[in-house]
């Protein structure tokens, strides 16, 4: 595998070891007749996560918490999954948007610090809850009610825990939500996106999809000097770097990395320790300083 580099050509170190046991465990659970939510719950239990149900402005949000190593000064890492399965085809809406391949759930297992995996409204067996409708996982998937629900749940969690600093991590559509949420939390040290949808209007036009009417566009949101790290896969056809690298570079305080042998899902685990270390090196007193 070639070493990934950032947009300036600087090589990123790739670890020589692979986290085979952790990731094989999740793959095994992907089989069988269990629902996506059941498989995720089983995987989370295997990773030692604590299952939670958080209240988010009238919605019930599934979540998993990992306390991590004891370190009072360490920021809470907030993990946001991609859009899951909002559609079964271009014309058929899914009745269960829960992710079939939870990339961020697995990556959180490699994080030694305190971390929270936060599900969206109507996901994880909540699609039929009061207030839920397919619009909340299709055209309004990044809508105000979704962002407001996540923000309320996270604020409640923070008020009950000791974390005073935050780092947001989001894959694909979770990257869009990471930007939208980070702007609401002054505790934010950094935002990290993996194949993040940083401009929903450009994304829908590129793929020939209908506009996401009712959704907020992260391209219109600034994060007030927070450091941003945006990672793109050179072989990604969902978030192609030829389209999204210029978008990411236009964001203030952003560093952009294009990883040559990566696509939309592979192979983020190979560089996850380096990504975590990069955010750990941020000096919190200067993280919001304008340059």
Q: What is the pLDDT of residue 90?
A: 86
Q: Rg of the chain over CA atoms, in angstroms?
A: 18
Q: Look up the CATH number of the domain holding residue 135.
A: 3.40.50.1820
Structure tokens at 31: 């089989």
Q: Is residue 12 part of a domain?
A: no
Instruction: Please give the Cα distance from 149 to 18 (Å, whole number).
Output: 36
For residue 15, the model assigns a pLDDT of 37
For the stretch 234-247, pLDDT in tens is 999 999 999 999 99
49-84 pLDDT, tens digit each = 999 999 999 999 999 999 987 666 789 999 999 999
Range of the domain at 233: 49-280
Q: What's the pLDDT score for residue 224? A: 84
For the stretch 124-143, pLDDT in tens is 999 999 999 999 999 999 99
DSSP letter for 11, please. Answer: B
Beta-sheet strands, E only, within the chain? 5-6, 50-56, 59-66, 76-80, 115-118, 166-171, 188-194, 227-233, 254-259
Q: Read off the pLDDT of residues 12-47 as tens digits, 9 standing for 90 and up.
A: 443 333 333 344 444 444 445 789 999 999 999 999
Q: How far apart are CA 206 and CA 276, in angstroms?
A: 31
Tell whether the model's pLDDT for residue 5 goes beyond 70.
no
Query: Can the peptide bond before residue 267 be classed as cis, meaning omega within 30 degrees of 0?
Result: yes
So what's the pLDDT on residue 163? Answer: 80
**23 domain-assigned:** no
CA pair distance 280, 228, nearest whole angstrom: 13
Structural domain count of the chain: 1
- Summary mean pLDDT of the chain: 87
Mean pLDDT of 212-240: 96
């Amino acid at each position: 595998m070639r070493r990934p580099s950032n947009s300036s050509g600087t090589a990123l170190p790739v670890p020589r070891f692979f986290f085979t046991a952790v990731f094989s465990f999740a793959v095994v659970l992907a089989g069988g007749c269990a629902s996506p939510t059941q498989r995720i719950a089983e995987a989370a239990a295997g990773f030692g996560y604590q299952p939670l149900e958080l209240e988010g402005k009238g919605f019930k949000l599934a979540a998993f918490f990992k306390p991590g190593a004891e370190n009072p000064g360490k920021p809470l890492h907030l993990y946001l999954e991609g859009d899951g399965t909002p559609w079964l085809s271009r014309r058929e809406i899914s009745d269960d948007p829960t992710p079939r391949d939870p990339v961020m759930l697995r990556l959180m297992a490699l994080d030694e610090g305190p971390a929270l995996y936060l599900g969206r409204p109507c996901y994880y067996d909540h699609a039929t809850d009061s207030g839920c409708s397919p619009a909340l996982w299709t055209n309004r998937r990044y809508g105000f009610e979704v962002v407001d629900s996540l923000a309320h749940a996270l604020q409640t969690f923070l008020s009950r825990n000791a974390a005073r600093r935050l780092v947001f991590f989001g894959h694909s559509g979770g990257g869009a939500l990471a930007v939208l949420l980070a702007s609401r939390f002054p505790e934010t040290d950094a935002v990290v996106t993996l194949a993040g949808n940083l401009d929903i209007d450009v994304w829908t036009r590129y793929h020939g999809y209908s506009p996401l009417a009712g959704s907020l566009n992260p391209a219109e949101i600034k994060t007030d000097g927070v450091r941003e790290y945006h990672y793109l896969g050179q072989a990604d056809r969902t978030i192609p770097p030829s389209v999204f690298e210029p978008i990411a570079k236009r964001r203030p305080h952003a560093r952009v990395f294009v990883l040559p042998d990566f696509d939309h899902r592979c192979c983020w685990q190979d560089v996850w320790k380096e990504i975590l270390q990069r955010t750990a090196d941020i000096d919190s007193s200067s993280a919001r300083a304008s340059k």
